Amino acid sequence: MSVLRIAFVGSGAVNFGGAEGPWDHSARLEQLGGVDVVAIVDPLVAKARAVLERKLAGPHHHLYRNCVVLASCSEVLAMEEQRRPQAAFIGSCVSRPDHAQMCF
């Protein structure tokens, strides 16, 4: 099966779940498989790192083994091409110009 490198932009509820239950993007993708999560992007890097640590300790840890935490989409675009995500799930609170530039 081919594997798609993906990034999550925003480490909050829509990407990683909240009190309402496991309806979030990451939970759905973990069921589908076929992805390699290569970046979680959030200016609140401590929050994003906590999310990644939780995922690395969970049943789908293998999907996150290549994942890095980054503070901005600009840092994603600076990743070397072989590691750069091919798709991104945007789950951040504001629409920003650099989101539109994320044409992996």
Ligand X SMILES: NC(=O)c1ccc[n+]([C@@H]2O[C@H](COP(=O)([O-])OP(=O)(O)OC[C@H]3O[C@@H](n4cnc5c(N)ncnc54)[C@H](O)[C@@H]3O)[C@@H](O)[C@H]2O)c1
Interface residues with ligand X (CB under 6 A) are 9-14, 41-44, 47, 91-94, 96
Nearer to ligand X, 2 or 76 (CB): 76
Distance CA 17, CA 22 (A): 6
- Which residue's beta carbon is nearest to the bound ligand X? 12
Rg (CA), the chain: 13
Nearer to ligand X, 41 or 67 (CB): 41
Distance CA 4, CA 19 (A): 29
Q: Residue 85, class by beta-carbon neighbours within 10 Å (0-12 exposed, 13-18 middle, 19+ buried)?
A: buried
Q: Residue 58, class by beta-carbon neighbours within 10 Å (0-12 exposed, 13-18 middle, 19+ buried)?
A: exposed
Least Å distance, CB 23 to ligand X, is 8
Least Å distance, CB 66 to ligand X, is 19
Nearer to ligand X, 11 or 26 (CB): 11
Nearer to ligand X, 3 or 78 (CB): 78
Least Å distance, CB 2 to ligand X, is 27
